Structure 1
């Protein structure tokens, strides 16, 4: 049984059909009502076959977010936990990009990464907030990355977006501190999923989605507000004590 903080909840989770999100779904399904948001209809159908409620949508589109929460009001009015987990990244060589004629895809890349990794989660949080404030014991859980402390230069847009979500999470936590709402941030390290194909160097050992999900729930049960996992703990300490060294470690090739 999971800790009582996530038992008997109605939980919305984006990006819950693969990676860390899927592992959280597996651990939370038995004792909670889950609604998994995604765009991959095949993966959503697989979850539906396992008894998980799903909703196909693009969280980066404001109108789709609004329609989803209207649907939630009708079907799950007691919704009380939002997990903003979806995300994606590509590596980018900015100098090479500037040395050639700008192409439409070049401009789209940074806009899309900021939209999906930052704006979408802020938008989901703002839609959810008035609903969550009406529910006792509610939560917003934002999944960022240990790279918020020191960015990986090869992934500039992703790191900038996650750093923005880290900042937003802290501000939201401060503004809601007198309400019955917990605002949690999960900061995973490099995780062994296809998402991190362009992640840290091969010399850095990746953790597993299973380990991230397990440790997330353990630390959540202990009341942690910033849940640093594995090498993210090291990144946090280096950023505070040896910031130059921390940046070099993250960006060594």
Structure 2
């Protein structure tokens, strides 16, 4: 896809991977609308010249409100990037049901509802794209992040089916599978992490190439291991 002149709606675009992706997409000539929910980050992104829509996509009302605000806009690309995790490890404590529900809503329900709400808009564009950001953990889960892994696996499954449904249309479907990236969500993880700038660069390249799947960073290795032995990939990841 030639990103120059494209109108992109990017969720979770005021911090982390999303903000770096917004900057790089703009550098390719795209017009980028980002969403966020933290006031100071929203103001900072607006200070960089981005159009920002305040929306808490971990609620159904936030999704409906976002769709209402972009109604009638000629969106060419939807990037479902916003995501969150929740502690869900019975070895440590009982899970927080409210946090689980917000994670399920943001990571699974919101992308699906945004795709449905924008489908007719995307169908009407000469060239369109849906980008769903899942995770390497959608391939093989770790032990400590059970609810996060489950949501990303669900979105991966949905994305694969959606791509098949839309293969005869002008809408291309790309799945992005990042590794552990240096973001606010991973500050407590003491391991090697990919920079958000590097992750965003790989996403932009995959978009330009109309790739079906972008295995980012170390996920390339995990994908290779899984192709040789799914059981081995699962054993390796369940050690964490």
Determine the C-alpha separation between the residues in 2 that align with 1:170 and 1:198.
Answer: 31
CA distance in 2, matches of 1:66, 1:43: 22
1:248 Cα deviation (Å)?
A: 2.7
Does residue 1:80 correspond to 2:76, yes or no?
A: yes
Count of aligned pairs between the two proteins: 239
Mapped contact 2:58–2:103 kept (Cα < 8 A): no
Q: Distance in 2 between matches of 1:197 and 1:95?
A: 21
Residues 22 and 6 (structure 1), Cα distance of their counterparts in 2 relative to 1, 3 Å cut: same
Q: Which position in structure 2 is the counterpart of 1:225?
A: 212
Q: Name the structure 2 match of 1:93.
A: 89
The two structures have a TM-score, normalised by structure 2, of 0.92
What is the distance in 2 between the residues matched to 1:125 and 1:83? 10
Question: Distance between the aligned counterparts of 1:226 and 1:111, measured in 2?
Answer: 28
Could you tell me whether the CA contact under 8 Å between 1:36 and 1:53 is conserved in 2? yes
Correspondence 1:212 to 2:169: no
After superposition, the C-alpha distances for 1:86-128 in whole angstroms (9 at most, x for unaligned) are 1111332225546xxxxxx722232221111111111111111
User: Within 2, Cα distance between the matches of 1:79 and 1:127?
Assistant: 12
Q: 2:42 aligns with which of 30, 33, 44?
A: 44
Give the CA deviation at 1:152: 1.1
Gaps of 5+ in 2: none
Q: Do the aligned partners of residues 198 and 162 (structure 1) sit closer, same or farther apart at CA in structure 2, a change above 3 Å counting?
A: farther
Q: Is 2:67–2:114's contact at 8 Å kept on the other side of the alignment?
A: no
Q: Does 2:102 match 1:106? A: no
Which secondary structure does the structure 1 equivalent of 2:169 belong to? Answer: coil
Q: Distance in 2 between matches of 1:158 and 1:129?
A: 26
Alpha-carbon distance, 1:65 to partner: 2.5
User: Would you say the 8 A contact 1:29–1:52 is kept in 2?
Assistant: no
The TM-score with structure 1 as length reference comes to 0.88
Which residue of the partner structure matches residue 53 of structure 1? 51
Is contact 1:153–1:251 with CA below 8 Å preserved after alignment?
yes
Task: Name whichever of 233-242 and 170-179 sits farther off.
Answer: 233-242
Q: Which residue in the other structure is 1:71 paired with?
A: 69
> Which of 141, 163, 184 is matched with 1:194 structurally?
184
Higher Cα radius of gyration: 1
